[in-house]
Amino acid sequence: MAEKFSSSSNFKWDFEICQLCEQPSHIAISCPWMYSKCMIRRCIRLCMLLFCDGNISKGKKYLKCQFPDCDSFIWLEDAIKGKNSTAMKCHLCGDDDHLGKDCPWEGYPCRRPRCSGWRHILTSHTEQNPKNKYLVCDKCHSFKWLSDAIVKHQGTTKQEQLLSKSPSSSRMKGKHICNDVPDDDFCEEFDLKARDMDATQR
């Protein structure tokens, strides 16, 4: 049953507020957000209006595609404001060129030497770093801020592009470039092993 409010100044009127989306002009049974078309263009299924039961955003409403393999997600307040573009962004790293299930930063091998663990994206909820994303290994628990990893990866990618286009790139043969966002200690150990291998081959 919808709640009814009234207000008056020089005249009176009554209007109803939807108990689902808390918007006027309709009641819950006819709420357009209860089931709406999925915001991912290639998906033909519907988004459902759900309530968050987590401790951080308990009670907050969001739209989620009913299809398990679709990553369409948006907070209801953003959808109402027309910020549908956020649904096309990866909910893990925030990039707009892929969805969460294809995120290259989630579930990739740890780069620490002799570690066989996998790195995952988590969100900080501390006062010093609220909502900041970070990478942590599920085995050795190595830590790296996601923003730092992205910056380092972009710098490495640009360096490789410049080297590949440079006339002196042929002179770089035999030298080793650490990529895939490895840690500094991994780079150091990798380079030491590479130099040892070069020495034995001479």
Report how far apart, in Å, the C-alpha atoms of 22 and of each of 27, 40, 43 are.
9, 25, 27
Do 38 and 65 touch, CB atoms closer than 8 A? yes
Q: What are the backbone dihedrals phi and psi of residue 114, each rounded to the nearest 5 degrees, phi first?
A: 65, 20
Alpha-carbon span 194 to 201, nearest angstrom: 11
pLDDT of 80 reads 82
Measured between alpha carbons, how far is 19 from 113 in angstroms, rounded to an integer? 54
pLDDT at 68: 79
The answer to whether 163 touches 149, Cβ cutoff 8 Å, is: no
pLDDT value of position 175? 39
Q: Which residues of the chain have pLDDT under 70?
A: 1-15, 54-57, 83-89, 96-97, 99, 156-202
Give the span between the Cα atoms of 188 and 142, in whole angstroms: 17
pLDDT at 163: 55
pLDDT tens, 105-136? Answer: 888 889 888 999 999 999 898 889 888 999 99
Phi (first) and psi of residue 155, to 5 degrees: -65, -40
Q: What is the pLDDT of residue 130?
A: 87
Could you give the CA distance from residue 163 to residue 37 in angstroms, rounded to a whole number? 47
Domain boundaries, the chain: 28-82, 100-163
Spell out the residues 6+ positions from residue 198 whose beta carbon is closer than 8 angstroms to its own: 174
**pLDDT tens for each residue of 188-200:** 444 445 455 554 4
Q: Answer for the pair 76, 65: CB distance below 8 angstroms, yes or no.
A: no
Q: How far apart are CA 81 and CA 129, in angstroms?
A: 27
